[in-house]
Amino acid sequence: MDAILLQILNGLDKGSAYALIALGLTLIFGTLGVVNFAHGALFMIGAFCAVTLQRILNLSFELVDETQTDFLGNPLKVKTPYVEAWFGPDIGGSIIDWAVPLAILFAIPIMIGVGYVMERGLIKHFYKRPHADQILVTFGLAIVLQEVVKYFYGANPIQTPAPDALNGVVNLGAAIGMDIVYPVWRVVYFFFAVLIIGGIFSFLQFTTFGMVVRAGMADRETVGLLGINIDRRFTIMFGIAAAVAGLAGVMYTPINSPNYHMGMDFLVLSFVVVVVGGMGSLPGAVLAGFLLGVLESFASMNEVKSLLPGIDQIIIYVVAIIILLTRPRGLMGRKGVMEE
Amino acid sequence: MFGLDKKDTSKLIIVACLALLAPFILNPFPTDSALAQFNAGYPDLMQRFVIFGIFAIGFNILFGLTGYLSFGHAAFLGVGSYSAVWMFKLIGMNVIPAIVLSVIVAGLFALLIGFVSLRRSGIYFSILTLAFAQMSFNLAYSVLTPITNGETGLQLTLEDPRILGVSATADGSIPVTNLFGLEMRSTFEMAVGPWAFQFNAGYYLCALIMLAAFYLSIRIFRSPFGMMLRAVKSNQQRMNYTGLNTRPYTLAAFVISGMYAGLAGGLMASMDPLAGAERMQWTASGEVVLMTILGGAGTLIGPVLGAGFIKYFENIFSKINDNVLHTWFSFLPDGMEDAVVFIIHPFIGKGWHLTLGILFMLVVIFLPGGLVEGGQRIKGWLSRRKAKDGGKAAGETNPAE
Q: What is the ipTM of this complex?
A: 0.81
Mean pLDDT (chain B, rounded): 85
Q: Which among A340, A287, A295 is positioned nearest to A316, based on CA atoms?
A: A295
- Chain A's closest residue to B353, CA to CA, is A147
B182 beta partners: B179
Q: A263 to chain B: which residues are within 8 Å by CB?
A: none
Beta strands in A129-224 (DSSP E): 169-171, 181-183
Q: Which among B78, B364, B400, B378 is positioned nearest to A142, based on CA atoms?
A: B364
Whether the per-residue pLDDT at B348 is higher than 80: the answer is no
Question: B20 or B36: whose pLDDT is higher?
Answer: B20
A211-224: average pLDDT: 87
Q: Which among A44, A304, A274 is positioned nearest to B131, based on CA atoms?
A: A274
H/E stretch holding B114: helix B95-117
| Window 23-82 of A, Cβ < 8 Å to B | 35
pLDDT band (50, 70, 90) for residue A69: confident
Whether the per-residue pLDDT at A20 is higher than 60: the answer is yes
Contact in structure between B323 and B244 (CB atoms under 8 Å) = no
- Spatial separation of the C-alpha atoms in residues A26 and A114, rounded to whole Å: 18
Q: Which residues of B159-170 are buried (b: 16+ CB within 10 A; e: fewer)?
A: ebebeebeeeee
Q: A130 to chain B: which residues are within 8 Å by CB?
A: 67
B114-121: average pLDDT: 86
Q: B351 to chain A: which residues are within 8 Å by CB?
A: 147, 151
Residue B372 CA: distances (Å) to CA of B15, B295, B298, B362, B369: 14, 6, 10, 14, 6
pLDDT value of position A186 = 87
- DSSP secondary structure letter of residue B120: S
Whether the per-residue pLDDT at B399 is higher than 70: the answer is no
CB contact under 8 A, A143 and B360: yes
pLDDT value of position A124 = 86
Nearest to A338 among B123, B131, B353 (CB): B123
Whether the per-residue pLDDT at A332 is higher than 90: the answer is no
CB contact under 8 A, B143 and A125: no
Looking at CA atoms only, how far is residue B114 from chain A in angstroms? 12
- Spatial separation of the C-alpha atoms in residues B347 and B126, rounded to whole Å: 30
| Window 246-265 of A, Cβ < 8 Å to B | 264
Whether the per-residue pLDDT at A72 is higher than 50: the answer is yes
Whether the per-residue pLDDT at A143 is higher than 50: the answer is yes
pLDDT value of position B389 = 67
| B217-241 pLDDT per residue, tens | 999 999 999 999 999 888 888 888 9
- Spatial separation of the C-alpha atoms in residues A157 and A96, rounded to whole Å: 20
| B171-216 pLDDT per residue, tens | 878 888 888 878 878 888 887 777 778 888 888 999 999 999 999 9
B126-152: average pLDDT: 84
Contact in structure between A248 and A20 (CB atoms under 8 Å) = yes
Top residue of B71, B143, B353 to mutate, by most chain A CBs within 10 Å, is B143
Nearest to B143 among A131, A309, A320 (CB): A309
Question: A265 or A153: whose pLDDT is higher?
Answer: A153
- Chain B's closest residue to A273, CA to CA, is B127
CB contact under 8 A, B124 and A309: no
Provide the sign of the torsion angle of the four alpha carbons B85, B89, B90, B92, taken in this order: positive
- Residue B286 has, within 13 A of its CA and on its CB side, a CA count of 22
Q: Which among B14, B110, B19, B18 is positioned nearest to B70, based on CA atoms?
A: B110
pLDDT value of position A336 = 58
Which range among A116-130, A196-210, A309-323 shows the weakest confidence by mean pLDDT?
A309-323
- Residue B285 has, within 13 A of its CA and on its CB side, a CA count of 29
pLDDT value of position B1 = 63
A26-48: average pLDDT: 88
CB contact under 8 A, B130 and A268: yes
CB contact under 8 A, B356 and A148: no
B68-81: average pLDDT: 92
Q: Given CB atoms, is B135 within the 8 Å cutoff of chain A? A: yes
Whether the per-residue pLDDT at B19 is higher than 50: the answer is yes
Q: How many residues in total does chain A contain?
A: 340
Top residue of A275, A276, A315, A319 to mutate, by most chain B CBs within 10 Å, is A275
Q: A268 to chain B: which residues are within 8 Å by CB?
A: 130-131, 134, 282
- Chain B's closest residue to A330, CA to CA, is B124
CB atoms within 10 A of CB A298: 18
CB contact under 8 A, A272 and B127: yes
pLDDT value of position B138 = 86
pLDDT band (50, 70, 90) for residue B401: very low
Whether the per-residue pLDDT at A178 is higher than 80: the answer is no
Q: B250 to chain A: which residues are within 8 Å by CB?
A: none
Nearest to A132 among B69, B144, B237 (CB): B69
Q: Given CB atoms, is B291 within the 8 Å cutoff of chain A? A: no
Q: Given CB atoms, is A154 within the 8 Å cutoff of chain B? A: no
- Spatial separation of the C-alpha atoms in residues B344 and B322, rounded to whole Å: 9
Q: Given CB atoms, is B134 within the 8 Å cutoff of chain A? A: yes
How many A/B residue pairs have CB atoms within 8 Å?
106
